[in-house]
């Protein structure tokens, strides 16, 4: 499946193996994360390809300059940081870049970890679309043993650099990416190990392992609770409203004052599912004479109560921002749930308010 929106020479290839995960909780959580990732990549201007077959994806990506191959269990965090690091990475000379793991302790050849890696498609095409190389157990094979750094990024199997070795060695197992690595080392093609600018700005949940997934799920809970209970937007994330009209009633998330110039007299209703944000803006919102300010606790993903506070006879702007496509909540709510909640709220607003403009910065199905 393709989600075209490309302004870039980089395409993201998502290997959708969700059906292979151990239980429904893992499957649904990772599907939620994947749906948000597609929207996130769309907003960054990247095209996304989704398929179950990794080699098929790379064949489909052959007209791009670079392909980022990733697991649906990987998400990009810390705003634009990963993408800035990626754009810097592709200015360098390499065939593949990623997490390269030394698996010789298992008598296995080196591994290119499937969570995320980058392929230079010009090299891939020049070598006539080689296969990535899947995991294979109990397969005797002889390869050049790579030269690797003595030091590690962590533990004892994560070299800081790898390159072509001088001596052959027999191995009993093949790990993911073995054929790409073999091709690189035999032909002296550069292999780049991800640095901290890449590593620290993505999160992988290891969903293919039930035990490892539950070790990492705390991050989802922490992010959800932080956004719901602690984080306060002290200014809008939008640069401009793009709206020139004036309204008698504004309905806004408690996240800034950008829209307040759009009302001279009337009402401003601030809503949020974060009580701390409501408290902050109740104390810090600049007041205008002739404007009534109302603060409402509401989770629009679960309820329509905000509609009850709106005067149906006033000319109204409702800003729904990115409420239905928000990083802080996306892992907890399916795309179908977010779409239905969005549609139900929009319908309720249009039924009640005679003159209403409904504004989004990002809809639930952005990029889908």
Q: Over range 136-153, report the average pLDDT.
A: 96
Identify whether residues 199 and 308 lie together within a single domain: no
Question: Residue 294: inside a domain, yes or no?
Answer: yes
Q: What is the CATH number of the domain that holds 30?
A: 3.90.550
DSSP 8-state class, residue 341: H
- For the chain, percent of residues with pLDDT exceeding 90: 92
Instruction: Report the relative pairing of strands 2-3 and 47-51 from DSSP bridges.
Output: antiparallel
pLDDT at res. 266: 96
Burial class (CB in 10 A: 0-12, 13-18, 19+), 189: buried
Identify whether residues 8 and 146 lie together within a single domain: yes
Question: Residue 265: inside a domain, yes or no?
Answer: yes
Give helix then strand counts, H and E, for the chain: 11, 18
Per-residue pLDDT band for 324 (boundaries 50, 70, 90) equals very high
Yes or no: say if 363 and 325 are a contact pair by the CB < 8 Å rule.
yes
Q: Over range 197-215, report the average pLDDT.
A: 96
pLDDT at res. 233: 85
Question: Residue 366: inside a domain, yes or no?
Answer: no
Cα-only R_g, the chain: 25
Query: Of 182, 216, 250, which residue sits at a domain end?
Result: 216
Q: How far is CA 309 from CA 45, 249, 295, 306, 332, in A?
A: 37, 11, 10, 6, 27
Yes or no: say if 283 and 215 are a contact pair by the CB < 8 Å rule.
no
Yes or no: say if 294 and 267 are a contact pair by the CB < 8 Å rule.
yes
pLDDT at res. 3: 46
Q: Over range 318-332, report the average pLDDT.
A: 95
Q: Which domain holds residue 144?
A: 2-216
CB atoms within 10 A of CB 206: 18
Question: Quick one: which of 231, 163, 229, 155 has its CA closest to 191?
Answer: 163
pLDDT at res. 163: 96
* Segment 51-64, tens digit of pLDDT: 999 999 999 999 99
Question: Quick one: which of 236, 245, 241, 242 has its CA closest to 316?
Answer: 245
Per-residue pLDDT band for 45 (boundaries 50, 70, 90) equals very high
pLDDT at res. 36: 98
Query: Of 187, 216, 245, which residue sits at a domain end?
Result: 216
Per-residue pLDDT band for 115 (boundaries 50, 70, 90) equals very high
Question: Residue 261: inside a domain, yes or no?
Answer: yes
* Segment 63-97, tens digit of pLDDT: 999 999 999 999 999 999 999 999 999 999 999 99
Both tokens of residue 43? 């907003």
C-alpha span between 319 and 259 (Å, rounded): 9
Yes or no: say if 275 and 296 are a contact pair by the CB < 8 Å rule.
no
Identify whether residues 173 and 239 lie together within a single domain: no
Q: What is the CATH number of the domain that holds 277?
A: 3.40.50.150
* Segment 212-270, tens digit of pLDDT: 999 999 999 999 999 999 989 887 776 566 788 999 999 999 998 888 889 999 999 99
* Segment 156-166, tens digit of pLDDT: 999 999 999 99
Identify whether residues 29 and 119 lie together within a single domain: yes
Q: Over range 171-200, report the average pLDDT.
A: 97
Q: Over range 326-353, report the average pLDDT.
A: 97
Identify whether residues 187 and 268 lie together within a single domain: no
Question: Residue 226: inside a domain, yes or no?
Answer: no
Q: How far is CA 151 from CA 154, 156, 162, in A?
A: 9, 8, 11
Read off the pTM: 0.92
pLDDT at res. 38: 97
Identify whether residues 209 and 356 lie together within a single domain: no
Q: What is the number of domains present in the chain?
A: 2
Indicate the SS3 state at residue 64.
Answer: coil
Reply yes or no on whether the pLDDT at 4 is more than 70: no
Question: Residue 224: inside a domain, yes or no?
Answer: no
What does pLDDT average to over the chain? 94
Q: Over range 11-17, report the average pLDDT.
A: 98
Identify whether residues 242 and 210 lie together within a single domain: no
Q: Over range 269-285, report the average pLDDT.
A: 95
- For the chain, percent of residues with pLDDT exceeding 70: 96
Q: What are the phi and psi torsion angles at 68 (to 5°)?
A: -95, 110
Question: Quick one: which of 269, 336, 339, 273 has its CA closest to 300?
Answer: 273
Identify whether residues 212 and 239 lie together within a single domain: no
Per-residue pLDDT band for 5 (boundaries 50, 70, 90) equals very low
Identify whether residues 145 and 17 lie together within a single domain: yes
Question: Residue 228: inside a domain, yes or no?
Answer: no
pLDDT at res. 240: 64
Instruction: Report the relative pairing of strands 111-120 and 66-70 from DSSP bridges.
Output: antiparallel
Identify whether residues 329 and 254 lie together within a single domain: yes
Reply yes or no on whether the pLDDT at 112 is more than 80: yes
Identify whether residues 258 and 152 lie together within a single domain: no
DSSP 8-state class, residue 160: S
Identify whether residues 36 and 156 lie together within a single domain: yes
């Amino acid at each position: 499946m393709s989600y075209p929106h490309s302004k870039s020479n980089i395409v993201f290839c998502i290997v959708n193996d969700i059906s292979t995960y151990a239980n429904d909780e893992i499957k649904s959580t990772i599907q939620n994360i994947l749906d948000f990732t597609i929207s996130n990549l769309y907003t960054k201007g990247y095209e996304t390809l989704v398929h179950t077959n990794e080699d098929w994806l790379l064949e489909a990506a052959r007209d791009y300059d670079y392909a980022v191959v990733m697991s649906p269990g990987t998400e990009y965090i810390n705003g634009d940081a990963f993408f800035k690091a990626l754009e810097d990475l592709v200015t360098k000379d390499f065939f593949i870049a990623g997490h390269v793991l030394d698996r010789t302790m298992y008598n296995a050849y080196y591994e290119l970890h499937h969570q995320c890696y980058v392929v230079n498609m010009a090299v891939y095409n020049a070598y006539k679309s080689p296969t990535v190389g899947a995991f294979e157990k109990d397969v005797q094979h002889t390869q050049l043993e790579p030269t690797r750094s003595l030091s590690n990024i962590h533990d004892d199997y994560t070299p800081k650099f790898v390159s072509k070795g001088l001596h052959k060695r027999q191995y009993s197992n093949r790990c993911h990416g073995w054929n790409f690595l073999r091709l690189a080392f035999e032909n002296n093609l550069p292999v780049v190990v991800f640095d901290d600018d890449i590593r620290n700005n993505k999160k992988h949940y290891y969903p293919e392992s039930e035990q490892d997934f539950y070790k990492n799920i705390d991050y989802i809970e922490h992010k959800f609770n932080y956004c719901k209970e602690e984080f306060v937007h002290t200014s809008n994330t939008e640069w401009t409203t793009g709206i020139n009209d004036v309204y008698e009633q504004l309905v806004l998330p408690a996240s800034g004052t950008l829209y307040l110039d759009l009302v001279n007299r009337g009402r401003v209703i601030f809503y949020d599912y974060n009580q701390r944000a409501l408290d902050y803006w109740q104390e810090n919102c600049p007041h205008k004479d002739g404007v009534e300010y109302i603060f409402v606790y509401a989770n629009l993903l679960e309820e329509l109560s905000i509609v009850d506070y709106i005067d149906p006879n006033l000319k109204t702007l409702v800003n729904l921002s990115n409420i239905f496509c928000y990083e802080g909540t996306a892992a907890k709510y399916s795309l179908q749930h977010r779409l239905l909640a969005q549609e139900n709220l929009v319908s309720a607003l249009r039924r009640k308010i005679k003159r209403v403009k409904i504004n989004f910065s990002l809809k639930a199905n952005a990029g889908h």
